């Protein structure tokens, strides 16, 4: 420990690990109240990093027995594998999981790099229908739409781009949902200085920092996402990560109020929800038919148990992730929501069962 000239302590942020001395009731849940469906997971992405979709390979060497035993231990009945694949790669993943189709469902995506082709509308429709025939039960749209893909003119392709209409129409026709991630945490679009609440996370992942580049702002992105939902009322959209804006449940509520085809998942955002427990609990009660469970972390019993503790107990000020992830999204802790059983059942399973056909 160093001291400066005035005698004050100096400590590097990375070395600061305070241990709370708070003593409150603690309920570590081993199991959730109902069997859970994890609607946001990525089992099959090998070598993915932001913007490198083409390089990503299907990971089809899982030990299914091990995977299913982890799911059983956490009472995860089914899991949705959101993949960045179409065509042959998608088929490989589907064939790999097919013997376990009672537990695993697969989503695919589309080739946005073909958007300039005059054949895009017919080709993309065909690819989606083909994927569906092989067993794909939904489409996953990654944040690269709006932040990465550019057309021939060099313009970013935004979520509300009219040229994408055939994609959403095909999903409506096949009655499969689109799980879409637009933008990222607000702090990723702000300067990386001593006021950025995700400073350490961005230091660890500089590729997630979207500020000061030739990119739309956070608000331009979510506005385009809202327009997409508004313009395609026949298509069901599951807005990933608490409607893209977990920091502002008022905004998310506005979208859910306006568009009955909008749903949200809670993946990777209990850190956000759990630091606004009063607002979050009201949000869950009001939108109990529109919220689905998801983790966005490879099946991990410890992780799932934190979600259950967050949703089911009124425990206070506990870590939103196991160590070593404990502070990964920001230096704060969370508070449980203590949701009642009716709401829990819908969020854990009933809502997603209404959105996805799990028979394939
Ligand atoms: Zn994800």
| Helix (H/G/I), strand (E/B), else coil: 211 | coil
Q: Using the mean position of ligand 1's atoms as its centre, give its distance from the Cα of residue 25 in Å.
A: 32
**Distance between Cα 4 and ligand 1 center (Å):** 44
pLDDT at 5: 66
CA of 292 to the centre of ligand 1 (A): 14
Please tell me the distance between residue 40's alpha carbon and the centre of ligand 1 in angstroms.
Answer: 6
pLDDT in tens, 236-249: 999 999 999 999 99
| Distance from the alpha carbon of residue 190 to the mean position of ligand 1, in angstroms | 22
Cis, peptide link before residue 324, omega less than 30° from 0: yes
What's the whole-number mean pLDDT along residues 248-258? Answer: 98
* pLDDT, averaged across the chain: 96
Yes or no: say if 329 and 208 are a contact pair by the CB < 8 Å rule: no
Distance (angstroms) between ligand 1 centre and the Cα of 82 equals: 7
- pLDDT on residue 8: 75
In the reported structure, the alpha carbon of residue 166 is separated from the centroid of ligand 1 by a whole-number distance in angstroms of 24
How far is the C-alpha of 160 from the C-alpha of 173, rounded, in Å?
19
Model pLDDT, residue 324: 83
Query: What pLDDT score was predicted for residue 66?
Result: 97
Strand order in the sheet with 76-82: 36-41, 76-82, 104-107
C-alpha 171 to ligand 1 mean position (Å): 20
Compute the distance from residue 152 Cα to the ligand 1 centre, in Å.
28
Q: How far does residue 300's CA lie from ligand 1's centre (Å)?
A: 15
Q: What is the pLDDT of residue 186?
A: 98
CA–centroid distance, residue 198 to ligand 1 (Å) = 18
Q: How far is the CA of 79 from the centre of ligand 1 (A)?
A: 13
Q: How far apart are the first and last CA of the chain?
A: 60
pLDDT category of residue 332 using cuts at 50, 70 and 90 = very high
Residue with tokens 């306006």: 258
Q: Average pLDDT, stretch 241-269?
A: 98
The SS3 of residue 4 is coil
Q: What is the pLDDT of residue 327?
A: 84
Statement: 26-355 belongs to CATH 1.10.260.40:
no
Ligand 1 centre to CA of 158 (Å) is: 19
Closest among 43, 169, 56, 163 to 112, alpha carbons compared: 163
User: What is the DSSP-derived secondary structure letter of residue 1?
Assistant: -
Q: How far is the CA of 51 from the centre of ligand 1 (A)?
A: 14
* Neighbouring-strand partners of residue 178: 139, 237
Indicate the pairing of strand 45-46 with strand 104-107: unpaired
> Computed over its alpha carbons, how large is the radius of gyration of the chain?
21
Report CA(242)–ligand 1 centroid distance (Å).
12
Q: How far is the CA of 296 from the centre of ligand 1 (A)?
A: 5
Complete DSSP assignment for 202-261: HHH-GGG--TTSSS--HHHHHHHHHHHHHH-TTS-EEEHHHHT-TT-HHHHHHHHHH-TT
pLDDT tens digits for range 183-214: 999 999 999 999 999 999 999 999 999 999 99
Residue with tokens 């509300």, as numbered in its chain: 160
State in Å: Cα 348 to ligand 1 middle: 17
**Mean pLDDT score, 332-353:** 98
Q: How far is the CA of 2 from the centre of ligand 1 (A)?
A: 41
* Residue 326, pLDDT score: 84
User: Nearest-CA neighbor of 111 among 92, 98, 126?
Assistant: 126
Q: Where are the domains of the chain?
A: 26-355
CB 59 within 8 A of CB 42: no
Tell me how far apart the alpha carbons of residues 260 and 277 are, in angstroms, rounded to a whole number: 25
Q: Render pLDDT for 287-325 as a digit per residue (tens, 0 to 9).
A: 999 999 999 999 999 999 999 999 999 999 999 999 888
Query: Average of pLDDT values for 24-36?
Result: 96
Task: Determine the 3-state secondary structure of 355 from DSSP.
Answer: helix
81-97 tens-digit pLDDT: 999 999 999 999 999 99
Is 80 exceeded by the pLDDT of residue 71?
A: yes
Question: How remote is the CA of residue 180 from the centroid of ligand 1, in Å?
Answer: 9
DSSP annotation string for 104-152: EEEEB---GGGTTSTTHHHHHHHHHHHHHHHT---EEE-THHHHT-B-T
Expressed in angstroms and rounded, the spacing between residue 246 Cα and the centre of ligand 1 is 15
Percent of the chain with pLDDT over 70: 98
Q: What predicted TM-score, i.e. pTM, was given to this entire model?
A: 0.96
Tracing tokens 């042959």 back to the chain, one arrives at: 88
d(CA 119, CA 247): 40
| Cα within 13 Å of Cα(300), Cβ side | 16
Measure Cα distances from 52 to 47, 84, 154, 204 in Å: 8, 10, 17, 18
Asked if residue 109 lies in contact with residue 152, where contact means CB atoms within 8 angstroms, the answer is no
The CB density around residue 79, as the number of other CB atoms within 10 Å, is 26
């Amino acid at each position: 420990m160093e001291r400066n000239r005035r005698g004050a302590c100096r400590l590097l942020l990375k070395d600061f690990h305070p241990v709370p001395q708070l003593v409150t009731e603690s309920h570590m849940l081993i199991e959730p109240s109902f069997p859970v469906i994890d609607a946001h997971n990525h089992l099959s992405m090998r070598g993915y990093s932001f913007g490198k979709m083409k390089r990503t390979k299907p990971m089809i060497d899982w030990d299914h027995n091990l995977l299913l035993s982890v799911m059983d231990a956490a009472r995860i009945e089914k899991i949705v594998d959101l993949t960045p694949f179409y065509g042959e790669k998608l088929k490989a993943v589907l064939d790999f999981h097919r013997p376990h189709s009672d537990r695993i469902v697969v989503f695919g995506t589309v080739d946005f790099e073909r958007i300039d082709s005059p054949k895009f509308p017919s080709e993309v429709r065909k690819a989606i229908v083909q994927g569906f025939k092989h067993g794909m039960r939904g489409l996953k749209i990654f944040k690269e739409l709006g932040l990465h893909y550019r057309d021939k003119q060099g313009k970013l392709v935004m979520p509300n781009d009219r040229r994408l209409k055939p994609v959403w129409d095909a999903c409506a026709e096949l009655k499969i949902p689109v799980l879409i991630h637009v933008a990222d945490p607000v702090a990723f679009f702000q300067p990386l200085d001593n006021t950025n609440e995700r400073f350490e996370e961005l230091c660890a992942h500089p590729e997630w920092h979207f500020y000061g580049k030739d990119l739309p702002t956070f608000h331009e992105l979510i506005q385009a996402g809202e327009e997409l939902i508004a313009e395609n009322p026949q298509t069901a959209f599951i807005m990933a990560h608490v409607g893209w804006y977990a920091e502002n449940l008022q905004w998310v509520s506005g979208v859910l109020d306006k568009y009955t085809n909008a749903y949200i998942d809670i993946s990777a955002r209990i850190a956000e929800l759990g630091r606004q427990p009063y607002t979050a609990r009201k949000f869950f009660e009001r939108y109990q038919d529109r919220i689905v469970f998801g983790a966005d972390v490879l099946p991990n019993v410890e992780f799932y148990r934190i979600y259950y503790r967050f949703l089911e107990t009124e425990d206070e000020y506990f870590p939103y992730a196991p160590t070593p992830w404990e502070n990964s999204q920001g230096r704060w802790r969370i508070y449980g929501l203590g949701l009642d059983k009716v709401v829990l059942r819908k969020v854990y399973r009933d809502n997603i069962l209404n959105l996805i056909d799990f028979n394939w």
